[in-house]
Amino acid sequence: MKKISKTIMFVDNTIIEYQKNTSLKLHEPIRKERVLSFDLPHECSTSGYVTVLPVGKQYYLYYRGISVRKNNEIDYEVTCLAISDDGIHFTKPSLNLVEFNGNKDNNIILKDSEVCHNFTPFIDHHPDCMDYQKIKAVGGHKRTGINKAKLYGLYSSDGIHFTKISEYPILTDGMFDSQNVVFYDHNISKYRCYSRYFNNSHLDNPKEYEGIRAIQSCESNDFANWTPNVKNQYDNDNNDEFYTNATVICPETNTYLSFPKRYVKNRERDFFNAGDTGVSDGVFMSSHDGVLWHRPFLEAYIRPGLDRENWVNRNNMMALGIINNNDKEFSMYISEHYRTSSAGIRRLSIRKHGFVSVHANYQKGEMMTKIFLLPKNNLFINYSTSAIGYVVVHLLDKNKNKIASSSIMYGDEISELVKFDNEFKNYYNKPVRLLFELLDSDLFAISFKGDIK
């Protein structure tokens, strides 16, 4: 039995005990503005591995620029930065840091073959983190053997000037040839790293890059010493190939969300040939411990769509980061037109905490939660109904006896107070349940906040 804290999203069945005439519904994000095009001389059609971070009052968008090769080996790559005040309109500042083609009038922050291929930063929320290291990053994929490489750590005080923590890598147990995700996990008070491995246990004497791309994670107390990797576990038979993972803790929650780019390597549309097969889409999954992942939806979270250039291989890669830039929506970002002359990044709009809902159609439905300890706070719901639809909330004791009920609620609100018809102060910190009656409506999330007086 758990205490409720922060916002609880209905992204899976973890806190649901009973449903009648309702089901979980995945809500596809809305493609919005093109926020960035890779059209400068130090960028290219395969620029990518995007991360978006809130830095001060602005948003920093990091990405890999050009990749220069000699004799089929990477000679050097660059990491670039774009900046926005609103998460929608991004500009490429002239930083005068790194020379390219004879001048420094560009937005390059790093030029290095060791860390730039998959450079991925994060805001370090460790309570003991020093200000000069408040933004950290990882990068690197130099091979040390089959399925082994070097991943380095970096730090910065401003998100622009980065320094290697050490000439020695912080991790060596992995391929690291994808976007490796690191963050400070407040749920366990440790750092986590999600990286790619190749699931090749079904092959005899597998070679490098043989097998199915998959996700693993490890933990660290100090960003230097890491536990052995643990493979992601799933609540279903998962045979999808995940090229990237884009794993985060959703803002204002304790819930882990992951947005892997699903790679289907043996498909190719006949109107485009990039010299390499494969098509991709984005999928959605959730976790409450960071290891066991729930996939009630095996279908795509976002499809390539009508734009033919999004059917090119290795497209539709979700950027790392959920931007909480207004009261009604989250912004996320996705690659488009990869391997073409119009490659770039597009913003996605998602209802705030609205990735998934408990959905009821015109047939009246019910959903009851599992038992939890009732906090001494007001209850708010994130919901949407039709003109004729509604939501009614009942508070039940542990034996499912009704304690209090709300009036009929209808509308479309990110956070609306539930007003009950009876006091229940004797039930604070005691086991209770919530029962929702729904008709032609969607219930996205609940939250307890604000002390009841």
Band (4; pLDDT cuts 50, 70, 90) = low
pLDDT digits (tens, 9 = 90+) for 208-261: 777 889 999 999 999 999 999 999 999 988 789 999 999 999 999 999 999 999
The backbone torsions φ and ψ at residue 316, rounded to the nearest 5 degrees and listed phi first, read 60, 45
The answer to whether residues 272 and 362 belong to one domain is no
**pLDDT band at residue 374, thresholds of 50, 70 and 90?**
very high
Residues 169 and 304 reside in one and the same domain: yes
The answer to whether residues 199 and 248 belong to one domain is yes
- The yes-or-no verdict on residue 113 having pLDDT over 80 is no
pLDDT tens for 402-417 read 999 999 999 999 999 9
Residues 139 and 233 in one domain: yes
Q: What are phi and psi of 425, to 5 degrees?
A: -65, -25
Q: Cα(362)–Cα(217) distance, rounded to whole angstroms? A: 43
Q: Do residues 266 and 374 both lie within one domain?
A: no
Whichever domain contains 152, its CATH number is 2.115.10.20
Residues 272 and 413 in one domain: no
Same domain, yes or no, for 250 and 211? yes
Burial 189-201 (b: 16+ CB within 10 A, else e): ebbbbbbbbbbbe
Work out the mean pLDDT of the chain and round it to a whole number: 94
Count of CB atoms situated within 10 Å of the CB of 168: 11
Predicted pLDDT of residue 21: 98
**Alpha-carbon distance 213 to 210, whole Å?**
9
Phi, psi of 133 (to 5 degrees): -120, 25
Over residues 113-120, mean pLDDT:
92
For residue 217 the two structure tokens come to: 């994670």
User: 248 pairs with which residues across the strands?
Assistant: 257
Domain-terminating residue out of 351, 368, 402: 351
Of 289, 316, 351, the residue at which a domain comes to its end is 351
* Domain hosting residue 381, numbered range: 2-27+356-451
Mark whether 266 and 393 lie in a shared domain. Answer: no
CATH code for the domain of 394:
2.60.120.260
Cβ atoms of 343 and 284 within 8 Å: the answer is: no
Q: Which two tokens stand for residue 200?
A: 């090749």
If asked whether residues 167 and 249 sit together in one domain, one would say yes
pLDDT digits over 16-60, tens only?
999 999 999 999 999 999 999 999 999 999 999 999 999 999 999
Same-domain status, 334 and 417? no
In the prediction, which pLDDT does 319 show?
A: 98
Closest listed residue to residue 224, CA positions, set 195, 190, 177 = 190
Q: Is the pLDDT of residue 1 over 60?
A: no
Element (H, E) at 351: strand 344-351
Residues 262 and 176 in one domain: yes
Q: How far is Cα 242 from Cα 345, in angstroms, rounded to an integer?
A: 20
Domain boundary among 351, 383, 406: 351
**Is pTM beyond 0.85 here?**
yes
How many domains are contained in the chain? Answer: 2
Are 285 and 216 found together in one domain?
Answer: yes
DSSP-assigned states of every residue in 11-60: SSSTTEEEEES-EEEE-PPEEEEEEEE--STT--TT-EEEEEEEETTEEE
